[in-house]
C-alpha cells in the first residue's frame, strides 16, 4: 500500500506543482521558496532541531506558546517550524527568536523527505493536530526520530475517510510514539484508526491569550469603526457565506449597527469588497485605516494575523465556515475575550467545543443567516446581560486551560527517546 501511495504521489506531483503556481497568481507568495518543497534547504542554524509541523495559520497560532516553551526548556536545540501555506509561514516568522528555522514541508515522497531530514537533523517530530503523512512518518521511524502528534483531533467524518485506507493509515499513525488528543472522543477515534498510544491532554487553544499589543490594536479598531456602535464580527468567512449574512444584517439590524467581515483567505479580499460595495456603497476597509463614516454599515477586515484585534473590538462574533458545510472555525479565541459566539449548523471540526460552549450558554448554534441576525439582535438588547455572559465565556476558557502544561510535561518525560547526533 505504501509503495502504491508513493507511485501515485510521483504521478500527481506535476499537478501539485501546477496547483501551487495557479494559487500564486492570486497569492504570489506560493511561488516563493519552492525548493523547500523538494527537500532543499539551507538552515541558518546547524545544531540539531526540534521539528514542529503546523500545516497553516490556525495550527501555527495554536503552537506559538508551545514553541516559546520548547525554546526555554530545551535550550540545546533550535526549533524547525514547517507549514504548507504562506499564511502559516508568516505567523511562524513573527515569533521573535533567533533559535527558529522556518521552511515549507517537503512533498510527501521519500526522496524529498530523506534529503530534508539529512539537512536539518531533527531530534524529534512534533505534528500539530492531525496531519498524517506516510512518507514523513515512515522515514522518521526508519531514522529513529520519534514522532509525537500534539493537540490531535479527529472528526467522525475524517475518521471514516481514513478507515477507507485503513492499512496505510494504521501503518502510518502507528509510527507515532504517542498521540496527545484534545478530548476523549478524539482519543477514541484516533485509537480506532490505529494510533498505538493515545493520551488525552486537552486543547492547546484554551491556553492562548491575546497580547497587550493585540488588545491595544483592537481598541484602535473600535475607535476607527465607531466607539459607540454595536459591532458584529463575521470571522473567517468562506465563499458563499458573506452574501446572506450581509443581506439579513442590512434588513434586520438597526442602522447604527456595524458588520465587520474578515474572510478566511486573503486572496478573497477583493472579491468580498466588490460584493460589499454592491450592497452598501459606503462600505469601508481596515486597510484604509481611516475613521468609518456613520453612513457605513459594512467594513472589510482585509488584513492577516489580526484576528484577536478584530475579536477585541466586536460585541458579537459569527463564526465562518459553519454556514458553508466546512466544519466551522474554532470559537475559543472569541470566547477567551468574553464574546458571545454564533455558529451555523456545520461544526464537525469543533463539535466538542461547540457542545460544551452551548451548554455554558456562550455559543449559540443556528441554522441560517436569518436566525443568526435574530440571535445577534437579541443578545445586543441588554448590555447588562451581555456583560454577565462575558464573564461566563471567559470563565469557560479558563476552566478548560491546562493542555500546554500537560504537553510540556510529557515531552520532558520523553526527552531520552529523542535521536542524538
DSSP state of 282: T
CA distance 174 to 42: 31
Residue in the structure block whose three cell numbers are 536545540: 77
Give the angle subtended at the CA of 402 by the CAs of 397 and 405, to the nearest 5°.
150
Which residue spans within 266-305 are E strands per DSSP?
284-285, 298-300
CA distance 61 to 65: 8
Dig out the grid coordinates for 165 from the structure. Answer: 485506507
CA distance 142 to 138: 6
Cα-based distances in Å from 271 to 22, 267, 299 = 17, 8, 14
Number of Cβ within 10 Å of residue 256's Cβ equals: 11
Give the chain's length: 421
Cα-based distances in Å from 197 to 123, 149, 310 = 20, 10, 39
Residue from 59, 129, 241, 242 carrying the catalytic annotation: 59
- Cβ–Cβ < 8 Å for 177, 198: no
Residues in a beta bridge with 340: 316
DSSP state of 36: G
Residue in the structure block whose three cell numbers are 496531519: 131
CA distance 177 to 419: 13
CA distance 149 to 130: 7
Give the angle subtended at the CA of 104 by the CAs of 149 and 321, to the nearest 5°.
65
Residue in the structure block whose three cell numbers are 484585534: 309
Both ends of the chain: CA-CA distance in Å? 32
Number of Cβ within 10 Å of residue 235's Cβ equals: 26
Q: Is 59 a catalytic residue?
A: yes
CA distance 228 to 256: 9
Catalytic residues: 59
Amino acid at each position: 500500500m505504501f509503495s502504491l501511495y508513493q507511485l501515485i504521489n510521483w504521478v500527481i506531483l506535476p499537478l501539485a506543482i501546477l496547483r501551487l503556481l495557479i494559487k500564486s497568481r492570486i497569492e504570489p507568495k506560493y511561488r516563493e521558496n519552492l525548493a523547500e518543497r523538494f527537500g532543499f534547504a539551507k538552515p541558518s542554524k546547524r545544531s540539531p532541531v526540534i521539528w514542529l509541523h503546523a500545516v497553516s495559520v490556525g495550527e501555527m497560532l495554536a503552537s506559538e506558546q508551545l514553541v516559546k516553551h520548547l525554546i526555554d526548556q530545551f535550550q540545546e536545540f533550535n526549533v524547525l517550524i514547517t507549514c504548507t501555506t504562506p499564511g502559516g509561514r508568516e505567523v511562524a516568522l513573527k515569533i521573535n527568536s533567533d533559535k527558529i528555522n522556518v521552511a515549507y514541508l517537503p512533498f510527501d515522497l521519500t526522496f524529498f523527505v530523506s534529503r530534508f531530514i539529512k539537512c536539518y537533523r531533527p531530534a524529534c517530530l512534533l505534528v500539530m493536530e492531525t496531519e498524517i503523512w506516510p512518507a514523513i512518518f515512515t522515514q522518521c521511524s526508519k531514522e529513529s526520530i520519534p514522532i509525537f502528534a500534539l493537540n490531535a483531533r479527529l472528526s467522525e467524518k475524517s475518521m471514516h475517510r481514513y478507515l477507507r485506507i485503513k492499512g496505510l493509515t494504521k501503518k502510518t499513525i502507528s509510527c507515532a510514539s504517542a498521540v496527545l488528543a484534545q478530548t476523549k472522543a478524539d482519543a477514541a477515534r484516533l485509537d480506532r484508526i490505529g494510533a498505538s498510544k493515545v493520551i488525552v491532554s486537552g486543547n492547546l487553544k484554551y491556553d492562548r491569550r491575546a497580547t497587550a499589543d493585540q488588545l491595544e490594536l483592537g481598541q484602535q479598531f473600535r475607535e476607527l469603526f465607531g466607539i459607540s456602535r454595536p459591532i458584529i464580527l463575521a470571522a473567517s468567512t468562506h465563499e458563499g457565506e458573506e452574501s446572506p449574512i450581509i443581506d439579513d444584517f442590512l434588513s434586520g439590524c438597526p442602522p447604527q449597527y456595524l458588520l465587520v467581515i474578515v474572510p478566511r483567505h486573503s486572496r478573497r479580499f477583493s472579491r468580498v469588497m466588490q460584493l460589499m460595495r454592491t450592497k452598501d456603497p459606503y462600505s469601508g476597509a481596515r486597510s484604509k485605516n481611516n475613521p468609518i463614516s456613520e453612513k457605513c454599515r459594512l467594513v472589510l477586515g482585509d488584513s492577516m494575523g489580526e484576528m484577536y484585534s478584530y475579536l477585541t473590538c466586536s460585541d458579537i462574533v459569527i463564526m465562518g465556515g459553519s454556514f458553508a458545510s466546512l466544519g466551522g472555525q474554532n470559537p475559543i479565541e472569541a470566547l477567551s475575550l468574553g464574546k458571545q459566539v454564533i455558529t451555523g449548523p456545520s461544526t464537525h471540526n469543533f463539535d466538542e467545543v461547540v457542545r460544551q460552549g452551548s451548554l455554558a450558554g456562550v455559543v449559540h448554534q443556528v441554522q441560517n443567516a436569518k436566525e443568526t441576525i435574530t440571535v445577534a439582535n437579541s443578545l445586543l438588547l441588554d448590555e447588562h446581560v451581555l456583560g454577565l455572559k462575558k464573564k461566563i465565556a471567559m470563565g469557560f476558557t479558563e476552566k478548560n486551560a491546562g493542555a500546554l502544561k500537560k504537553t510540556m510535561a510529557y515531552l520532558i518525560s520523553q526527552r531520552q527517546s529523542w535521536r542524538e547526533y
